[in-house]
């Protein structure tokens, strides 16, 4: 603030470079928002010159002391972007991202007299310090923690919630030595000046010049003032684990003397100054929240967010054209020309903020321009039926309805659960593995306000990926609050309890964007099984974010990747950043998971969040965590805003889902400290079921109808067995052949977050499905936690998923998937040769087989692992070579040779000669070489030479009136060494 004590020296000229709160209002902040742009008059009472004065002027890494004493503070983690211009002054916006180190000399240990004046605004209640005199960061009740005096502008401590907390601490023996000033209330709306005066053994705390707390103590500044170069900090706590400050700070002064009550009032910024700074800063904050996806006030086409409160200041809105922009921020898309509108916000401080904007007339083409479809898809397509820009009605047609469906004009939304935003369109039927990709043309027709436009999109539908039986498991997890990266592990084989780290135990993904922390990874296998998606929480506690700010001002993004081998991960959006799925009024986006919805033919992504009344996050009621859900088909575009999925009035987080039969089963954590209505214990897992995945839940009800909502079927499932609070539940179906699977096997896991990570329960799908209030799964004798071991070491809130042998091998080698070996077997039936190709992992085989013999060869496509060909006459020996497939996932192989004999056919007849039976055997040489043929039977043997393509006969007189059926052998040889051997049957005959 600009106010200067009457005896002080005017500060040096300000630096001209400042960061405006928002680029489009830089100039507006300097005009007379409150009619206060001229220098302020001197205060009536003379005030001693401060030892340092920080009005938030800054240069580089220095927070400038404008008292003339040259005691600049040193900034850490704070840059020009951390400062905002509010009227004629700067404000330092602490966002738990930095602090300022105060130099020695501001307060000395000569006596116990000092004064700190601190002008601040914050809506964040947390364990954070506004300022502290003292040094030495350490745990509670240790000598590492330096002695100190501190002030927290809005605390979350018991007895001080949302109030000012101040204390003096000098450790003595086993006593931590902290004495707190009595709670005296919270901050006033807008900027509040908190002044602490130390005089002798009394601390007095003023709020805007009025005493709110006093404390008599026995501590001495001589035990507090550090010996090093740092006196203390702005925005940093000395208690290890506390978060950095989240607050706006406008002005800070220090004196090495105790000010009188009159001097306290005279020194502090006036109410008008604080109101002006509040209003100016407020305008920028309102604008930053209100624009949403609109680029500027001059180009408004989507709904605005008009908050009811910002920074603790209430706002009431008026519009010059409510039909164009309503007082709730709804922007009309029915206008036919660009329209100017003025929005006016009247604040609870008595000021007004005006915003002049231009609403653009909708252009139907803009909705088509906003459509982005993947050039090649393995998933159903998100064929939007409502334009993302102007809300145009969009219908889709397709060149191949059997490949991709069009918009269903007769679609009707279900009575329960989410509606299909694509109205039956975009359903993809992928070609079978080995058939190759196929092309389709999709046409979108958009209609709005009488305008119509069309756009075509060419999409390649990918063939199904190669299937192989699952042969093991993979896991993803993070390790601790101090190690927020994604790690992976894999089993040694098809036994769930044989996990070991992969990638040499190193992190697989480390965030360099957003909060720079990754927690709660979840891996979902795609509906077709040939791709994996991973989602994770964007949160970094180790970066200095406290749990309070993490819930009240946490990320609105989820981090999303995709992979085919769990080794190579790529962002689904193609950018090094997460995807915003949550709404501005939300406080955080925690533990995202996903599951396939058979009805919607889409993935449902769900997460836990707080929900405030508006984007300003100023209310303090109804801030329990609840579950929200969005839909996606490609993990790149998501429905918006998120729908409330679970809101029972009690805190819930960490849902995970599986489907057994016709029902979805949902395990969720009760986040309450104790019972939550029907849920009988806090910090434990409960189970529900429903036939409708997206059905909303408003109560935990044993008697709820699972046809239309979620029915409670178990509660307090783990703590009685593990002795620990649990979260992050996961449910995994065991593979066939896993020794832990006695049939229909599942493993349920719970993260005992304070006791080493995951513990496991082995159960069955039938056991889960049969759980009910009178026969709960968790109360059955077989519900027993498995002894520790076999899981990744100390995993925190992660995921477990089945994998094929090739993926398992790739994980252990930490390399691309290698081709699996194959075996080709050749057999012959006459001149038909058949090749059977089998992959070593028992999976699909696609591609071609080339049969060859001599100068002849022929290539035939595989069908279900088999290929057949008719071998031409004259080909004596044939081999079959499996050529592989274009994906290179199965290695080629060659069969052993199969020899083909001479191609001879024989027929036998009889006739009567002189009343006696005569056998006649006729042999045809269908080969291309001359054959020497011997015909031998019961009545004799003859050898004949038969030229290629010719037929010869041999007769055998039996001298019998009647004969029984007789078998005659035909053997032959050729000059090329080929042979033939067969038999022919002479039927029974009689000449009587």
pLDDT tens-place string over residues 340-381:
999 999 998 888 999 999 999 999 999 999 999 999 999 999
Spatial neighbors of 2 by CB under 8 A, at least 6 apart, are 39, 40, 55, 88, 89, 269, 273
Q: Tens digits of per-residue pLDDT, 690-718?
A: 999 999 999 999 999 999 999 999 999 99
Question: What is the average pLDDT across 75-99?
Answer: 90
**Distance, CA of 391 to chain centre:** 27
Return the minimum-mean-pLDDT range out of 12-21, 344-353, 426-435, 751-760: 12-21
Q: Is the pLDDT of residue 27 over 90?
A: no
Q: In which region does residue 958 sit, left (phi positive, over 0), alpha (psi from -120 to 50) or beta (all else)?
A: alpha
Specify the pairing of strand 796-804 against strand 470-478: antiparallel
Q: Tens digits of per-residue pLDDT, 718-742?
A: 999 999 999 999 999 999 999 999 9
Spatial neighbors of 441 by CB under 8 A, at least 6 apart, are 398, 399, 456, 457, 458, 459
Question: What is the average pLDDT across 241-246?
Answer: 89
- Determine contact, residues 501/475, Cβ cutoff 8 Å: no
Q: Is the pLDDT of residue 148 over 60?
A: yes
Q: Is the pLDDT of residue 265 over 80?
A: yes
H or E stretch at 89: strand 89-95
Q: Tens digits of per-residue pLDDT, 857-879?
A: 999 999 999 999 999 987 889 99
- Determine contact, residues 244/544, Cβ cutoff 8 Å: yes
- Determine contact, residues 691/664, Cβ cutoff 8 Å: yes
pLDDT of residue 29: 32
pLDDT of residue 288: 80
pLDDT of residue 52: 98
- Residue whose pair of structure tokens reads 């393509």 in the numeric block: 949
Q: pLDDT grade, residue 912 (50/70/90)?
A: very high
Three-class DSSP labels, 396-450: EEECCCCCECCCCCCCCCCCCCCCCCCCCCCCECCCCCCCCCEEEEEEEEEEECC
Q: pLDDT grade, residue 43 (50/70/90)?
A: very low
- How many CA atoms lie within 13 Å of 702's alpha carbon, on the beta-carbon side? 12
347 SS3 class: strand
d(CA 355, CA 357): 6
H or E stretch at 810: helix 805-813
Give the number of other CB atoms < 10 A from CB of residue 139. 10
What percentage of the chain reaches a pLDDT higher than 70? 96
**Distance, CA of 824 to chain centre:** 43
d(CA 60, CA 65): 13
Q: Which of 312, 113, 318 is nearest to 201 (CA)?
A: 113
Give the number of other CB atoms < 10 A from CB of residue 670. 29
pLDDT of residue 287: 87
Q: Which of 321, 327, 315 is nearest to 342 (CA)?
A: 321
Q: Is the pLDDT of residue 160 over 50?
A: yes
d(CA 171, CA 590): 39
Q: Is the pLDDT of residue 238 over 70?
A: yes
Phi, psi of 696 (to 5 degrees): -75, 150
Q: Record the tokens describing residue 50, joined without a space.
A: 């401060």
- Residue whose pair of structure tokens reads 């089993």 in the numeric block: 491
Specify the DSSP class assigned to residue 894.
E
Q: pLDDT grade, residue 830 (50/70/90)?
A: confident
Q: Record the tokens describing residue 673, joined without a space.
A: 């400290």
pLDDT of residue 976: 80
- Determine contact, residues 785/761, Cβ cutoff 8 Å: yes
Q: Is the pLDDT of residue 799 over 60?
A: yes
In the predicted model, what is the mean pLDDT of the chain?
A: 92
d(CA 475, CA 492): 12
- Residue whose pair of structure tokens reads 């960490």 in the numeric block: 654
pLDDT of residue 394: 98
pLDDT of residue 25: 31
**Distance, CA of 965 to chain centre:** 79
What percentage of the chain reaches a pLDDT higher than 90? 81
d(CA 283, CA 85): 11
Distance, first Cα to last Cα, the chain: 135
**Distance, CA of 563 to chain centre:** 13
Q: Is the pLDDT of residue 746 over 50?
A: yes
> Burial level of 200, CB count in 10 A (0-12/13-18/19+)?
exposed
- Residue whose pair of structure tokens reads 């008009």 in the numeric block: 306
23 SS3 class: helix
Question: What is the average pLDDT across 541-551?
Answer: 86
Q: Record the tokens describing residue 975, joined without a space.
A: 């000059």
Q: pLDDT grade, residue 470 (50/70/90)?
A: very high
Q: Is the pLDDT of residue 31 over 70?
A: no
Q: pLDDT grade, residue 44 (50/70/90)?
A: low
Q: Is the pLDDT of residue 563 over 90?
A: yes
Before 641, cis peptide (omega within 30)?
A: yes
Q: Which of 875, 880, 865 is nearest to 827 (CA)?
A: 880
CA dihedral of residues 869, 873, 878, 882 (deg, nearest 10): -20
- Determine contact, residues 67/117, Cβ cutoff 8 Å: no
d(CA 359, CA 546): 40
H or E stretch at 660: strand 652-660
862 SS3 class: coil
Query: Which range scores top for mean pLDDT: 119-128, 267-276, 561-570?
Result: 561-570
CA dihedral of residues 44, 49, 52, 53 (deg, nearest 10): 20
């Amino acid at each position: 603030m600009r106010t200067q004590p009457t005896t002080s020296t005017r500060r040096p000229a300000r630096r001209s470079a400042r960061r405006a709160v928002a680029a489009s209002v830089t100039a507006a902040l300097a005009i007379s928002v409150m009619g206060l742009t001229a220098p302020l008059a001197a205060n009536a009472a003379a005030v001693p010159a401060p030892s340092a004065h920080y009005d938030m002027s800054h240069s580089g890494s220095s927070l400038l002391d404008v008292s003339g004493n040259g005691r600049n503070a040193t900034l850490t983690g704070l840059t020009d972007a951390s400062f905002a211009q509010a009227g004629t002054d700067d404000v330092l916006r602490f966002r738990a991202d930095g602090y300022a180190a105060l130099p020695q000399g501001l307060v000395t240990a000569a006596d116990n007299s000092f004064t700190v004046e601190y002008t601040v605004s914050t809506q964040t209640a947390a364990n954070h310090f506004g300022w502290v005199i003292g040094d030495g960061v350490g745990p509670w009740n240790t000598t590492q923690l330096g002695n100190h005096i501190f002030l927290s502008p809005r605390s979350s401590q018991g007895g001080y919630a949302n109030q000012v907390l101040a204390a003096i601490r000098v450790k003595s023996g086993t006593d931590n030595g902290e004495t707190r000033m009595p709670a005296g209330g919270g901050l006033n709306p807008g900027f509040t000046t908190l002044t602490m005066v130390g005089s002798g053994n009394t601390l007095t705390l003023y709020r805007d010049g009025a005493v709110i707390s006093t404390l008599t103590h026995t501590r001495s500044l001589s035990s507090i003032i550090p010996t090093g170069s740092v006196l203390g900090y702005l925005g940093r706590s000395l208690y290890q684990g506390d978060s950095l400050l989240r607050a706006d700070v406008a002005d800070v002064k220090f004196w090495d003397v105790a000010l009188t009550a009159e001097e306290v009032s005279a020194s502090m910024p006036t109410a008008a100054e604080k109101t002006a700074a509040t209003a100016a800063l407020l305008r920028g904050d309102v604008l930053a929240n209100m624009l949403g996806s609109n680029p500027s006030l001059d180009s408004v086409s989507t709904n605005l967010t008009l908050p009811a409160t910002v920074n603790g200041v209430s706002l009431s809105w008026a519009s010059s054209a409510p039909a164009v922009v309503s007082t709730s921020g709804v922007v009309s898309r029915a206008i036919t020309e660009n329209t100017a509108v003025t929005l006016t916000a009247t604040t609870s401080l008595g000021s007004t903020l005006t915003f002049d904007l231009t609403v653009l007339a909708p252009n139907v083409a803009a909705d088509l321009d906003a459509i982005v479809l993947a050039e090649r898809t393995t998933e159903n397509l998100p064929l939007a039926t409502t334009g993302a820009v102007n809300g145009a009605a969009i219908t889709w047609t397709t060149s191949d309805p059997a490949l991709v469906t069009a918009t269903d004009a007769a679609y009707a939304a279900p009575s329960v659960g989410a509606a299909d935003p694509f109205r039956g369109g975009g359903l993809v039927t992928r070609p079978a593995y080995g058939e190759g990709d196929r092309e389709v043309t999709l046409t979108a027709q958009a209609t709005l306000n009488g305008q119509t436009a069309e756009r075509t999109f060419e999409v390649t539908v990918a063939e199904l990926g190669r299937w192989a039986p699952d042969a093991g498991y993979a896991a993803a997890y993070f390790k601790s609050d101090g190690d927020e990266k994604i790690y992976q592990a894999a089993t040694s084989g098809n036994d769930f309890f044989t996990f070991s780290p992969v990638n040499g135990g190193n992190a697989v993904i480390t965030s360099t964007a957003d909060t720079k922390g990754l927690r709660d990874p979840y891996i979902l296998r795609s509906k077709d099984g040939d791709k994996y998606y991973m989602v994770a929480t964007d949160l970094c506690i180790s970066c200095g974010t406290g749990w309070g700010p993490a819930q009240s001002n946490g990320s609105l993004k989820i981090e999303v990747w995709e992979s085919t081998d769990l080794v190579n991960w790529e962002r689904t959006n193609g950018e090094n950043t997460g995807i915003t799925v949550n709404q501005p009024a939300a406080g955080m986006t925690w533990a995202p998971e996903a599951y396939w919805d058979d009805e919607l033919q889409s993935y449902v992504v769900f997460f836990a969040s707080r929900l405030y009344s508006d984007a300003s996050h100023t209310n303090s009621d109804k801030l329990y965590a609840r579950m929200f859900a969005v839909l996606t088909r490609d993990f790149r575009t998501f429905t918006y805003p998120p729908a409330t999925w679970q809101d029972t009035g009690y805190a819930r987080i960490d849902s995970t889902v599986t489907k057994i039969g016709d029902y979805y089963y949902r395990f969720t954590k009760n986040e309450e400290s104790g019972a939550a209505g029907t849920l009988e214990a806090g910090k434990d897992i409960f189970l529900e079921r429903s036939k409708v995945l997206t059905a909303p839940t408003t109560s935990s009800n044993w008697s709820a109808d699972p046809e239309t909502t979620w029915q409670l079927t178990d509660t307090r499932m783990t703590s009685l067995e593990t002795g620990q609070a649990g979260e992050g539940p996961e449910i995994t179906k065991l593979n066939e052949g896993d020794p832990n699977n006695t049939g229909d096997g599942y493993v349920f896991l719970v993260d005992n977050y304070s006791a080493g990570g995951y513990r496991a329960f082995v159960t069955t799908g039938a056991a889960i499905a049969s759980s009910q209030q009178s026969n709960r799964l968790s109360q059955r004798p077989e519900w027993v936690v498995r002894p520790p071991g076999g899981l990744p070491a100390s995993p925190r809130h992660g995921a477990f998923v089945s994998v094929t042998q090739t993926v398992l091998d790739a994980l252990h080698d930490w390399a691309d998937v290698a081709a699996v070996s194959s075996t080709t077997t050749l057999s012959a039936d006459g001149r038909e040769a058949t090749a059977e190709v089998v992959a070593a992992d028992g999976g699909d085989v696609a591609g071609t087989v080339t049969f060859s013999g001599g100068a002849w060869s022929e290539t035939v496509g595989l069908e279900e692992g088999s290929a057949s060909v008719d071998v031409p006459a004259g080909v004596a020996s044939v081999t079959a070579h499996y050529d592989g497939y274009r994906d290179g996932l199965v290695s080629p192989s060659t069969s052993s040779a199969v020899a083909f004999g001479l191609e001879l056919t024989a027929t036998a007849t009889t006739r009567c000669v002189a009343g006696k039976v005569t056998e006649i055997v006729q042999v045809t040489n269908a080969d291309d070489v001359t054959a020497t043929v011997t015909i031998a039977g019961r009545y004799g043997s003859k050898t004949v030479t038969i030229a290629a393509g010719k037929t010869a006969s041999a007769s055998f007189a039996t001298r019998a009136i009647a004969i029984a059926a007789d078998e005659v052998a035909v053997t032959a040889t050729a000059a090329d060494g080929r042979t033939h051997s067969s038999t022919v049957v002479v039927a029974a005959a009689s000449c009587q």
